């Protein structure tokens, strides 16, 4: 068994030779990301069916821990859009207390995955599955925001896809045009606001300096502040954070144990696995994106999983929700000049300072504005161009991607990933079985049938070996298999060769193997087939076999 992964946060190595210039860059990036994270943390929490302060607590505490303990220089952690549908469904089905318990358990599972060096396994999930469930989650996020975007009078949105469609259709008569106009305006601001962070610095006309300053402000903040001022200035009839939740406390919540019920906890296996699986996939995908954007050392996937696990084990005791790496905030951090985990810790400190100083102002934020922001998040989250490119790819790729997408929308992420992985495995087995083939070769030695084997002899391909004895021509006393193109063999393949040897022996014929590679040779020796074939049953290659035949006078 390989040794456990050593717990060694990237911050320990990143802070060696840390300079004043790097700190200034991290400070600026951290403040920028903190401002960007503010509206997203609130919006993600509300969309997930919990209070807005729970999103802020998650961004502050989990964001700090993920940066301080993680395996990436620049990854930013916190509540993520991918969790919205999952968290909302768990809250509706199991309650908030069980969501917190499932988050703690998922954190422990993530730590265990990191310790056992399983971080690399996440990379083996086919890209078709990742695209399928990501696009499916984006659709569900967008659907969940239509209620607030349209200002519909719906007391509680169902958690399932068809239930949400039915609820929206029943209440379309209660559309609030002010909410719709404000939400669409926020979408336009977020989409069109200049977000250029890599701008040339220096002195110039005041208009140029003002343009640079405004361009560095995130569009989400501009949309949120503008919509709030407009709604209050015109006294628009809109639902706000204050009217639904009573505002946001001007402090962090204290440590508290969630209500634990063993009967409820026994039902949390699927939610726990779902949170852990999605958190692992999202965080490591995000870290890989960040690696491709910088020249900094690549992330340590196992350390990143352990940091995500610790954060998710801690934050529920302060009322927080699941956290993971977030692509939008990580990209913002990189573009703003972040170069070490310090920028992520500054981002958390910035959010904390905003909560302590300005939390009461959040009660005036219209929910339609947050819905507009989240619709843009959902749009940016999906890889919609992949649907247009589907015709370029194979039927298995299309089936897995579309199947995962539909199952995510109609059922849930866990079912989608499970079915997607099963389909991927079945298609892989089929593909590998088609690559395995046995081809006859001409033989100059009378009474022998020569065949060359290509590919991997595994359980999905044994049918092509089992019937070889019946294909031999009359008068054949020896079947020679050239195996130098056989790259691997499993125990089912070994059993097929054993049965072939026994069948030939009963018919008065013999089996000869030539050109064995290391792995097949080892398994054939350990499985007893080499002994059954005898000293003349295995040769280094066809040349050696032909030489042995000449010496025997054949």
Q: In 3-state terms, what secondary structure has residue 505?
A: helix
**Does a structural domain hold residue 16?**
no
Rounded CA separation 539/527 (Å): 18
Are 142 and 226 in the same domain? Answer: yes
| pLDDT above 70 for 213 | no
227 in a domain, yes or no?
yes
Encoded tokens for 48: 């997930």
Residue 516 main-chain phi, psi, to 5 deg: -70, 130
Supply φ then ψ for residue 511, to 5 degrees. -110, 135
- Give pLDDT, residue 262: 72
Number of H-type helices and E-type strands within the chain:
27, 7
Instruction: State the pLDDT at residue 480.
Output: 93
Tell me, rounded to whole angstroms, the distance of Cα 509 from its chain centroid. Answer: 54
Average pLDDT over residues 45-52: 91
Instruction: Output the 3-class SS for 14-36.
Output: HCCCCCHHHHHHHHHHHHHHHHH
Q: Which residue has the tokens 């790819």?
A: 393
- Cα 160 to Cα 424: distance, rounded to the nearest angstrom: 26
**Is 36 inside a domain boundary?**
yes
Total tally of structural domains belonging to the chain: 3
User: Which tens digit of pLDDT belongs to each residue from 76-97?
Assistant: 999 998 898 889 989 988 888 8
Structure tokens at 189: 């601001």
Alpha-carbon distance of 27 to 18, in angstroms, equals 13
Q: Which residues pair with 291 in a beta bridge?
A: none
Q: What is the pLDDT of residues 2-23, one digit of tens each?
A: 688 889 999 998 888 888 889 9
Residues 499 and 416 in one domain: no
Beta bridge partners of 480: 450, 512
The pLDDT value recorded for residue 170 is 92
Q: Side by side, which strands form the sheet with 538-539? A: 437-441, 448-457, 478-489, 510-514, 538-539
pLDDT at 318: 94
Residue with tokens 């039927």: 395
Contacts of 6 (CB under 8 A, 6+ apart): none
Structure tokens of 13?
């190595």
Answer whether residue 13 is part of any domain.
no
104 closest CA partner among 315, 250, 263, 260: 315
Q: What is the pLDDT of residue 5?
A: 87
- Which tokens belong to 459? 């359980």
Average pLDDT over residues 167-174: 91
Q: Are residues 180 and 273 in the same domain?
A: yes
Query: Which of 215-219, 251-255, 539-543 is predicted least confidently?
Result: 215-219
Position 289 scores a pLDDT of 84
Which whole number is the average pLDDT over 333-360?
A: 91
Is 524 inside a domain boundary? Answer: yes
> Which tokens in the block code for residue 438?
């046995």
Does residue 5 lie in a domain region? no
Average the pLDDT over 303-310 and give the result. Answer: 96
pLDDT 10s digits, 488-518: 999 999 999 999 999 999 999 999 999 999 9
Backbone angles phi, psi at 281, to 5 degrees: -65, -50
The CA R_g of the chain, rounded to the nearest whole Å, is 30
171 located within any domain: yes
Residue 216's pLDDT is 64
Enclosing domain of residue 502: 437-551
- Which carries the bigger pLDDT value, residue 348 or residue 289? 348
Q: Is the pLDDT of residue 414 over 80?
A: no
- Are 279 and 373 within one domain? yes
Average pLDDT for residues 352-358, to the nearest whole number? 91
Query: In the predicted model, what is the mean pLDDT of the chain?
Result: 88
Considering all CA atoms of the chain, what is the largest pairwise distance in Å, rounded to the nearest integer? Answer: 106
Same domain, 198 and 55: yes
Q: Do 223 and 259 lie in a common domain?
A: yes
User: What's the average model confidence in pLDDT over 248-260?
Assistant: 82
Same domain assignment for residues 340 and 451: no
Res 198: pLDDT: 41
Q: Are residues 374 and 416 in the same domain?
A: no
| Per-residue pLDDT band at 199 (split at 50, 70, 90) | very low
Q: What's the gap between Cα 170 and its chain centre?
A: 35
Q: Does 3 fall in a domain?
A: no
Query: Dihedral of the CA atoms 399, 405, 409, 414 (nearest 10)?
Result: 90
Tell me, yes or no, whether 276 and 202 share the same domain.
Answer: yes
Same domain, 428 and 443: no
Residues 427 and 502 in one domain: no
Last residue of a domain, one of 395, 412, 433: 433
Q: What is the phi/psi pair of residue 412, to 5°?
A: -160, 175
CATH code of the domain containing 447: 3.30.750.24
Cα-to-chain-centroid distance, residue 91? 22
Residue 232 and residue 134 share a domain: yes
């Amino acid at each position: 068994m390989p040794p456990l992964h050593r717990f060694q946060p990237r911050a320990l190595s990143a802070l060696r030779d840390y300079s004043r210039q790097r700190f200034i860059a991290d400070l600026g990036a951290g403040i920028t990301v903190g401002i960007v994270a503010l509206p997203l943390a609130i919006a993600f929490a509300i969309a997930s069916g919990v209070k807005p302060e729970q999103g802020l607590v998650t961004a502050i505490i989990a964001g700090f821990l993920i940066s301080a303990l993680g395996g990436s220089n620049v990854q930013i952690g916190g509540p993520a859009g991918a969790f919205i549908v999952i968290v909302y469904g768990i809250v509706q089905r199991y309650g908030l207390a069980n969501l917190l318990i499932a988050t703690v358990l998922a954190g422990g599972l993530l730590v265990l995955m990191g310790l056992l060096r399983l971080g690399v396994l996440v990379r083996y999930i086919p890209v078709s599955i990742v695209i399928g469930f990501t696009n499916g989650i984006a659709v569900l996020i967008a659907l969940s925001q239509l209620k607030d975007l349209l200002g519909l009078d719906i007391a509680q949105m169902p958690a399932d896809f068809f239930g949400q469609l039915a609820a929206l259709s029943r209440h379309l008569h209660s559309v609030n045009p002010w909410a719709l106009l404000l939400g669409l305006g926020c979408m336009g601001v977020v989409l069109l606001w200049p977000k250029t962070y890599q701008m040339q610095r220096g002195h110039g006309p005041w208009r140029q300096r003002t343009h640079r300053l405004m361009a560095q402000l995130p569009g989400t903040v501009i949309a949120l502040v503008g919509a709030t001022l407009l709604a209050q200035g015109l006294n628009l009839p809109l639902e706000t954070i204050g009217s639904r939740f009573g505002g946001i406390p001007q402090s962090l919540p204290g440590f508290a144990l969630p209500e634990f019920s063993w009967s409820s906890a026994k039902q949390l296996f699927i939610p726990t696995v779902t949170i852990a699986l999605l958190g692992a996939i999202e965080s490591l995908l995000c870290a890989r994106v960040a690696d491709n954007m910088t020249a900094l050392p690549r992330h340590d996937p196992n350390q990143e999983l352990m940091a995500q696990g610790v954060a998710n084990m801690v934050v529920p005791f302060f009322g927080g929700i699941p956290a993971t790496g977030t692509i939008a905030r990580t990209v913002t951090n990189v573009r703003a000049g972040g170069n070490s985990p310090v920028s992520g810790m500054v981002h958390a400190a910035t959010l904390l300072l905003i909560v302590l100083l300005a939390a009461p102002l959040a009660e005036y934020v219209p929910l339609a504005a947050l819905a507009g922001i989240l619709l843009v998040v959902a749009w940016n989250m999906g890889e919609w161009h992949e649907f247009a490119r589907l015709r370029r790819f194979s039927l298995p790729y299309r089936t897995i991607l579309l199947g995962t997408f539909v199952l995510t929308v109609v059922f849930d992420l866990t079912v989608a990933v499970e079915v997607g992985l099963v389909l991927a495995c079945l298609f892989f087995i089929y593909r590998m079985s088609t690559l395995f083939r046995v081809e006859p070769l001409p033989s100059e030695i009378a009474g022998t049938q020569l065949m060359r084997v290509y590919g991997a002899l595994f359980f999905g391909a044994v049918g092509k070996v089992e019937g070889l004895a019946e294909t031999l021509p009359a008068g054949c006393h020896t079947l020679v298999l050239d195996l130098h193109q056989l790259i691997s063999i499993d125990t089912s393949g070994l059993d097929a060769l054993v049965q072939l040897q026994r069948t030939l022996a009963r018919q008065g014929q013999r089996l000869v193997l030539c050109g064995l590679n290391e792995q097949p040779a080892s398994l054939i020796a350990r499985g007893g087939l080499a002994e059954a074939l005898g000293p003349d049953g295995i040769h280094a290659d066809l040349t050696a076999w032909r030489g042995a035949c000449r010496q025997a006078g054949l």
